[in-house]
Structure 1
């Protein structure tokens, strides 16, 4: 049976812009966290593509990946993920071919099929608004063909990705439902699930991935990375207070609006309605706020439920030193 210290652990960073801060502050904090994460033994540092969100600075994801990779030495850096429907596959192949050429052996390409934006932003990104994500397998096939010198049948005739062609850049499929889970299984690719915001679909998606898995040149058996929201502090009370910043962010999503990451509050009473509280709590099944003992207990439960091969941890904490301390506490726990 797997133990916690057997599981690699990674960082998912949304490059949060906090209330009173700027995108420049966010990028400074992102690099600082990445450098600490490297020192503490984290395996990967992934950044997520979102658009038209005033509290998230990682919209130009490839650029921020380059910023982090340039300021670190050994940690893998990548996307969690690039929303492929927003981009021409050739452009992503060139961008990640460039990153891999600059930082060889350290770049991951995680791909999602959602737009990562609202309809107005999707229109500005020149996406076809009638798309339901069904074109994703074809786009993925074209993208993979740009990296494969023998993959000319899946890409436009005479078009090559330079840099990109011939480079070994690990591709992951990301998901919050069964579509990408099944596709990842059929293609024999590693799969990461966003259980920190789609908890109800985690176990069905992992089952679908594993039962549909076909060995490939990439993997001989399934490999699952489970996304968790973790807020760690020296006491349970402090962790729960810090976690109210993330909860306020969820409230904004529920209410159909965006905003910067808010300072923590002692209580959300008077801020949320009873219906909003119930909905938010239902989305927090795989979000943990506590001290090391509480987090260890819950992680052991999740490990038994999921059989995860790797964790990827998102911590939306307003105060940067507190965010660093949270990731350090988690690393100390998982290395025991």
Structure 2
């Protein structure tokens, strides 16, 4: 007999439950407080639990999986078409239950604590890098008002700012000079924090077999490898490498009708961070590699560099999926 499918609309304090009894067809919709959720599922037989892949979904998926339930996560975009009438918690839970009944529904892999922790490290680093860029840009703009033009590049700008503050010590008001020195101190602190996080990411990569295997792919560095393993979760969740590339938004957007296929630019769906890392890695391969494959050289001769970079990023995503799904190691194509 098929297990009961129970849908949960997640929240911080009140969770909405929706399920249908298989024997009687009775529809149950009830609200549970946070402290009631685990006891409710602990006292029920093994069921199929479905939730939207939103905040705290992976945490609750791990908790309920330890209780013996089969937990599935559905992307919010696949649930939205099934919301009837006005939006509320009960309607959302019913929509999640309805979406889970579709035979072709695609589910999101549940991430482990390690994978989610690595993603958190990437998010912290990304925010610190943004703050550092903002600090340097502000320093550049403030000194420009006093006739100082800083060179391009973060490190060169900081060194030039130090020299400019030393030379303008007698001209700048003391309060501004002290504040700019504090700005430089904050930049040094940000550099140290980012370096510590990158070292932790590197240590995790060294101890993870999957990361080491996909790091052999040209253009896949420490950040891309650790982010890819953490984002993909279980590679078998995707049916093919193309489906993984489509999940990252690296395939053309279609607008086809009447048998006429119309392809546009890439869809840019899915994880923006990982897609950006893959495209930057592809650009580095194009710029730094002296012995590019003949097919890639031909493409560069007739298409813009950015188009070729996206195509190479697509291939890198497919290769990552193949190595993770089949447990293989990377083998470079023979030189032509």
Give your verdict on TM over 0.5: no
Which structure has the higher relative contact order (CA within 8 Å, separation 6+)? 1
Q: Give the helix-richer structure, 1 or 2.
A: 2
Q: Determine which structure has more spread, i.e. the larger CA radius of gyration.
A: 2
Q: TM-score, normalised by structure 2?
A: 0.26
